[in-house]
Structure 1
Amino acid sequence: MLLTLEQRQVQELAREFAEGELRPHAARWDREGALPPALRRQLADLGFWGLALGEDVDGLGLDAVTVALVLEELARGETGVALWVNIHAWVAAPLLAEAAPAPVRDRWLPAAARGETVLAFALTEPDAGSDARALTTTADPVEAGWRLRGRKTWVTQGAQADAAVVFARSPDGIDAFLVPTNAPGYRVGERERTLGHRTLEIVTVDLEGVTVPGDHRLGAPGAGWALAKQALIRGRLGAAAIATGLAQAALEHAVRYATERTQFGRPIAEFEGMQFKLADMAIRVEASRALTRRAAAALTAADPAAPTLASMAKTFASEAAMAVTTEAIQVFGGYGYMRDYPVERLFRDAKATEIYEGANDIQRVLIARVLTHQP
């Protein structure tokens, strides 16, 4: 796919930021288990919190292809940053733009685009993961608006977010609500101890009678599941871009190491077996990139095939990332297994891309339903 001048410029902006401000610090942030507070302002200065929001609310108004370019480059630098931006700017904020009443949009969207307000996305529950429609969080109408009760799991940056898009079951069906995190009853539980993405705070959130105004329901009554599906389509595309970016990083590290590491009197990159390994890694990365951009172009064009292509891209790219990072460790040999080298961290982060935004098993179900014309 040929990129426009504007797309190349945005891509280069993200690449320079990732190489200069993310990659040099990624290992330390992983060890410390946190991103620096100043990063939020740096991303705001680049406009990345408002990637997909319109210019009328101080966003960049980028299409899906350009958003994917940014997420890929950010992930090439540090995957947690890319996932954070994906959830706020590509999954949650567009929901407000599409479905929030005008007063709510006017209050929240400009701040979200500027990074003054950061959003979380709360759909999954302890017993409602792949079967997200089985959620049991409730939203009851009260005089002041809506009262929410329930528990949400694996809420990324759920403690740092200023508001969360929460899905709950109301008398009308499944609905989506914008919930300020400073609302009484919004309780953040312990941070999860994760294999990868250790720079992010992934938490459980308990909603203990949280009350939100009536206009904080997003969309028409009972439209929450339709909104969730649209958000997940975007999220899957974002996951594909993130997987591609971290796989690209692993490939770069592997090539550099193979050309510098000498065994038997010459660089290991000169051995045919190593060359084949690196070539296969590069093929997977390029194929992931191509499918991700194909899905992004379909989403931009409102192509009916976009949801299926997003599932395909997410599945292929995440599994390619696992394969590439596994092979990168093999290129490094024993050093690749050590925390002192970057491919170990990328391997841990890659695994998550096969799970979040809908596990790959579920993606295959969705793809097969389309192929066989099942509802």
Structure 2
Amino acid sequence: MSEFDLFRINDDHEALREAVRAVADDKIAPYAAAVDADSRFPQEANDALVASDFFAPHVAEEYDGVGADALATCIVIEEVARACASSSLIPAVNKLGSMPLILGGSEELKQKYLPPLARGEALFSYGLSERDAGSDTASMKTRARADGDDWVISGQKSWITNAGESEFYTVLAVTDPEAGRGKGVSAFIMEKSDAGFTFGEKEKKLGIKGSPTRELLFDDVRIPGDRIIGEPGTGLALALRTLDHTRVTIGAQAVGIAQGALDFALGYVKERKQFGKAIADFQGIQFMLADMAMQVEAARQMVYVAASKSERDDKDLSFFGAAAKCFASDVAMKVTVDAVQLLGGYGYTSDFPVERMMRDAKITQIYEGTNQVQRIVMARQLMKG
């Protein structure tokens, strides 16, 4: 394939964008400020996404899904994030939580857990990080021990997106403490109703306040033996492979947040008058807008290339996924800060959405691997040649 044909936006993708934007503008954006102010789950967005088949678009048709490709899924997340970042975590985290199952699960597990997800009956979260094992995932302490035909899981997971709202959870736990660093980790599917599985209090956060973030607490939770994903000891490799794919969706979320901020700021400066004319007529403002738009478009291109590589499972996905997430999230932070600046004093108030977008943008530089970790990933790939 030519380097000039890394991805192609077709008519179906453009029609999808229009459809998602219509849903986001009509059913999601009107509630975004209240969702943020009240720190409540965006149920209106959840219902709208289910009704329009944008809830978990990545699930294949054979499991009752719509079978959207990786680029189409990114477009869904981008357009929802343009209206409400918290709401965009519904399709994004549904992919994150279920991706280990898709990549490494048995057909029986897929048939059990993917159709309810595709139909919008259950959210799917992902439990990897712990209090003392954030970027250093291999140092996790959560344990799963075999007991007859079952597994018994004890420990905790931290900073879990949509915890408490999701019915299903992919959880990583050490099954062989003697195997060596990172080698004895396995992946499991846990259900909200499992006895001994509880949640910590909701975290009080800077942004994405509509998406609950809580600890997962496991007090000798007994689950059937067939809920392991893949073979014992393969969990950490599966988790890292998952992140190669899903970091691209965080890049898409970041692009959406940045685009939303740029769109609002552009409309504002055309209307706001100072010194007898619209401030959009001042060259200094125009240069800011040009830089913002250029950065957003560059980020979008990187995300779409990475999404196409994700769809093909290219060998260089690790580099491109990390690069897209890192670059797009840095752009989102810069563009949202500039949007606040363009609105002046009004930008600093909650009367306008750009301050929320600025707060929401920050997390995209942190979760699914901090941008410092993304640079480590990219450097390692470069060293490998």
Task: Give the TM-score normalised by structure 1.
Answer: 0.97
Residue 372 (str. 1) matches residue 376 (str. 2): no
1:115 counterpart (115, 120, 124): 120
Shift of 1:40: 2.7
Q: Mark the runs of 5 or more structure 2 residues left unpaired by the alignment.
A: 1-6
Residue 83 (str. 1) matches residue 89 (str. 2): yes
**Residue aligning to 2:54:** 48
**Residue aligning to 1:24:** 30
Residue 214 (str. 1) matches residue 207 (str. 2): no
* Contact preservation (8 Å) 1:255, 1:278: yes
What's the RMSD between the two structures over aligned residues?
1.3
**Residue aligning to 1:277:** 288
2:204 counterpart (193, 200, 218): 193
Shift of 1:48: 2.1
Aligned to 1:372, what secondary structure does the other structure show? helix
- Give the partner amino acid of 1:84: I
Shift of 1:2: 3.7
- Give the partner amino acid of 1:354: Q
1:166 counterpart (159, 171, 174): 171
Aligned to 1:50, what secondary structure does the other structure show? coil
**Residue aligning to 2:235:** 224
CA distance in 1, matches of 2:369, 2:246: 9
Total equivalences in the alignment: 373
* Contact preservation (8 Å) 2:135, 2:370: yes
**Residue aligning to 1:263:** 274
* Contact preservation (8 Å) 2:109, 2:227: yes
Task: Give the TM-score normalised by structure 2.
Answer: 0.94
Alignment of 1:173-184 (within 5 A): 173-184=184-195
Aligned to 2:115, what secondary structure does the other structure show? helix
Aligned to 2:200, what secondary structure does the other structure show? strand
Shift of 1:144: 4.2
Residue 72 (str. 1) matches residue 83 (str. 2): no
CA deviations over 1:153-210 (Å, ceiling 9, x no partner): 0111111111210000002710000001111111111100000000011001111101
CA distance in 2, matches of 1:150, 1:277: 49
**Which segment is superposed worse, 225-234 or 262-271?**
225-234
Shift of 1:36: 4.2
- Give the partner amino acid of 2:48: Q
Residue 308 (str. 1) matches residue 319 (str. 2): yes
CA deviations over 1:266-299 (Å, ceiling 9, x no partner): 0000001000011100011000000100111111
CA distance in 2, matches of 1:37, 1:265: 44
CA deviations over 1:12-63 (Å, ceiling 9, x no partner): 2111111111112211111111134343332122222331111011111111
* Contact preservation (8 Å) 2:93, 2:126: yes
CA distance in 2, matches of 1:69, 1:40: 17
Shift of 1:129: 0.4
**Which segment is superposed worse, 262-271 or 53-62?**
53-62
**Residue aligning to 1:246:** 257
Q: Mark the runs of 5 or more structure 1 residues left unpaired by the alignment.
A: none
- Give the partner amino acid of 2:346: Y
- Give the partner amino acid of 1:141: A
**Which segment is superposed worse, 192-201 or 228-237?**
228-237
**Residue aligning to 1:354:** 365
Question: Sequence identity of aligned pairs in percent?
Answer: 36
Structure 1 residues 301 and 197: CA distance shift in structure 2, 3 A: same
